[in-house]
Amino acid sequence: MVEPVIQEVDGGVVFTAKIVPGSNSPTRICGLLDGMLKVKVSAAPEKGKANQCLIKFLAKKLDVKKNAVNIIRGQTSPVKGVRVSGISVDTLLEKLGLNK
């Protein structure tokens, strides 16, 4: 298994996520794929719905406000750069169940 690439930056963390939109099941973390966090989202990839679904899901899982989660690259791509403010790498791994 490839370790996730999560960087601690000033006031938060940055990581890469691979998004699979339009899932028939609820939004969930599917594990790691080539160092990226793989997330299946229930929303369709239209008009930013999948991005908003990802932001809402991560904010809830990480117990931060929605405005603390930002997509910093890949707005229209399935591979996204995500920044979460106010959280450490250890906390992110723990809350997403990736610290095993």
Q: Residues 39, 20: contact at Cβ < 8 Å?
A: yes
**∠ CA 12-91-50 to the nearest 5 degrees?**
70
CA atoms within 13 A on the CB side of 20: 16
**Residue 36 resides in a domain:** yes
- Whichever domain contains 58, its CATH number is 3.30.1200.10
| Overall number of domains in the chain | 1
**∠ CA 63-30-42 to the nearest 5 degrees?**
75
**Residue 21 resides in a domain:** yes
Domain span at 25: 6-95
pLDDT in tens, the chain (100 residues): 455 578 999 999 999 999 999 888 899 999 888 889 999 999 999 999 999 999 999 999 999 999 999 999 999 999 999 999 999 999 999 999 887 5
Tokens of 89: 């790498």
> CA-based Rg of the chain, rounded to a whole angstrom?
12
**Residue 1 resides in a domain:** no
